Structure 1
């Protein structure tokens, strides 16, 4: 299935690729053909011939990296994504939207020791409380998408219906965070405690910071609390219990290894978090436990906008940053 998805990206043609079990082995000698297809698929335009050549060179290097990653990791699949024309450093700069330099006013610490034992697998999407995958574009606003995703789900759990709230309100109006230059989810939820959340349709996302257009008369959701669970568990099993018994959780991790991810269960280095996402579920596939995350890079990245990490090993440093949630009225 993953192989067919990648091939469909280029009109169903297997040109310049050779199949491996659930993998694609890219022929670097056919890089120019693949690059032209990539430009067409993602509507990429470059300002000069020199820039295009530079991006082609990066593309070739990344094809080789993808082949190496597919050989190294047996559980994950890597391929051509919208980020393949970025160097690792350029992608790191893009992905770094979790701004840990911001003074973190801690949310209330919650200790849950008497929660029911969670089932072996659980996914909040099956409860119809997770809204569609959105795209942050070129703005470093992952923190806003993570926080709003949490509030949307908490609202849906309580009121039995989905609504879409405005990330742009946070980007423009939350002065404790830094708009497209990054932020942290706890501060975003604390802002919403004071201001409330407007609907997406009333304050639409534009992918850049602009003048605040907050309208208190259009507030749809009132947030009454911000809760932090980081100190509530000694193992990822405890986090599993919290997730299944509360709501999807805002969480930070290092997204550097997700650049070329197209599916499967990823293992990655345990480093400092730089990206905010929404933890929505967990499970086991072929005896391998995993976490499922909702991302904000659009529905065409990863597994329809989601990605999975190996569970139980602090993948991508997911336990190194705050894990927070909201309470809504």
Structure 2
């Protein structure tokens, strides 16, 4: 298993916003309305137009934490993470996929939570996988298991620890990983790692996808196992653990996303930040979703940087692997 410390690459707690005009915010009419507003981003369809508020909340799967975890002072992080010291001054643009070239194949993975409201269980192991690869200077290129987090982390879940795929809390997930570690595990039917995902991806609403609609699928109920469920994997469960030290976006298709002053938060999601940049004089974060590559720009999107847009800068967590790899 792998263990981690709290610190880009990081997961971010993101509020999903929508204005409340006369037309429904997922309708074709509203998407057309957005594209007529001379916004710095392009709207398009990512999700079905008939989703309800409860559908959106169930799909996204992150809940606000009641208390925030303690994190090290930035100087401590710089001492413990050599990559930060490479910047005498912070560059205008940064892309982890390009800067850490030996780990690009790991960092570039876009996960798909399927019909399970578990963005926290997919984004956080993805960040942990990236940081493990970076920490090992590319020697360890393994995907860590979202299945293990979704099925076994009871303290991560919200509102009830006995309910799977109804949401979770990011900070609690990091605390659990710090205590328990993570085993490896790839995507659905990947036959990769100790515990690959057991439930399938689905179509979150794009017409180009051939997958079944998420809306028509019941949430999965993955079982917690303290063994490797992939019979072809060559390592045992307890020898596979890696440990870490503790420390209107719904319609987005391109551009730098920002929200208007009268937008309201509909739901919350955990996503992964992999870089930053500037487009048409607008600073942005580069973010990876947990809705597969059909969402946004092949699973990624840009959100305005420096103004805490959709509370993107209010709570960012990450981790460092414990030990040498």
> Structure 1: 5+ residue runs without aligned partners?
1-56, 228-256
DSSP-derived class of the 2:53 partner: helix
Higher relative contact order, structure no. (Cα contacts within 8 Å, ≥ 6 residues apart):
2
CA distance in 2, matches of 1:139, 1:130: 22
Query: Deviations for 1:95-149, whole angstroms, at most 9, x for unmatched residues?
Result: 441122x665724343339764311100112122514101001111101112111
1:143 aligns with 2:115: no
Q: Answer whether contact 1:58 1:87 (CA < 8 A) is retained.
A: no
Partner residue in 2 for 1:121:
93
Larger radius of gyration: 1
1:214 aligns with 2:226: yes
The worse-fitting range, judged by mean Cα deviation, of 291-300 and 69-78 is 69-78
Q: Answer whether contact 1:141 1:183 (CA < 8 A) is retained.
A: yes
- Of the candidates 153, 168, 184, which is equivalent to residue 147 of structure 2? 168
TM-superposed CA distance for 1:224, in Å, is: 3.1
Query: In 2 relative to 1, CA 271–149 (structure 1 residues): closer, same or farther, beyond 3 Å?
Result: farther
Partner residue in 2 for 1:323:
316
TM-superposed CA distance for 1:280, in Å, is: 0.7
TM-superposed CA distance for 1:318, in Å, is: 1.2
Query: In 2 relative to 1, CA 79–169 (structure 1 residues): closer, same or farther, beyond 3 Å?
Result: same
The worse-fitting range, judged by mean Cα deviation, of 283-292 and 186-195 is 186-195
Query: Deviations for 1:15-67, whole angstroms, at most 9, x for unmatched residues?
Result: xxxxxxxxxxxxxxxxxxxxxxxxxxxxxxxxxxxxxxxxxx979x7110100
Partner residue in 2 for 1:223:
243
Partner residue in 2 for 1:249:
none
Partner residue in 1 for 2:178:
193
Query: In 2 relative to 1, CA 307–88 (structure 1 residues): closer, same or farther, beyond 3 Å?
Result: farther
Query: In 2 relative to 1, CA 88–314 (structure 1 residues): closer, same or farther, beyond 3 Å?
Result: farther
Partner residue in 2 for 1:106:
69
Scaled by the length of structure 2, the TM-score of the pair is 0.66
Partner residue in 2 for 1:314:
308
Query: In 2 relative to 1, CA 171–125 (structure 1 residues): closer, same or farther, beyond 3 Å?
Result: same
Query: In 2 relative to 1, CA 183–195 (structure 1 residues): closer, same or farther, beyond 3 Å?
Result: same
Scaled by the length of structure 1, the TM-score of the pair is 0.66
The worse-fitting range, judged by mean Cα deviation, of 103-112 and 67-76 is 103-112
CA distance in 1, matches of 2:74, 2:62: 25
Q: Answer whether contact 1:98 1:276 (CA < 8 A) is retained.
A: yes
DSSP-derived class of the 2:303 partner: strand
DSSP-derived class of the 1:262 partner: strand
User: Could you list the runs of 4 or more consecutive aligned residues of structure 1 that deviate by over 6 angstroms after TM superposition?
Assistant: none
TM-superposed CA distance for 1:278, in Å, is: 0.6
CA distance in 1, matches of 2:296, 2:180: 34
Q: Answer whether contact 1:136 1:142 (CA < 8 A) is retained.
A: yes
Query: In 2 relative to 1, CA 143–261 (structure 1 residues): closer, same or farther, beyond 3 Å?
Result: same
CA distance in 1, matches of 2:43, 2:58: 19
Query: In 2 relative to 1, CA 213–80 (structure 1 residues): closer, same or farther, beyond 3 Å?
Result: same
Query: In 2 relative to 1, CA 138–263 (structure 1 residues): closer, same or farther, beyond 3 Å?
Result: same
1:279 aligns with 2:273: yes
1:1-329 maps to which residues of 2 (within 5 A)? 62-81=27-46, 83-87=47-51, 89-100=53-64, 104=67, 106-112=69-75, 116-126=88-98, 127=100, 128=104, 129-159=106-136, 160=138, 161-178=140-157, 179-200=164-185, 201=192, 202-207=194-199, 208-215=220-227, 217-219=236-238, 220-227=240-247, 257-268=248-259, 274-320=268-314, 322-328=315-321, 329=323
> Structure 2: 5+ residue runs without aligned partners?
1-22, 79-84, 158-163, 186-191, 200-219, 229-235
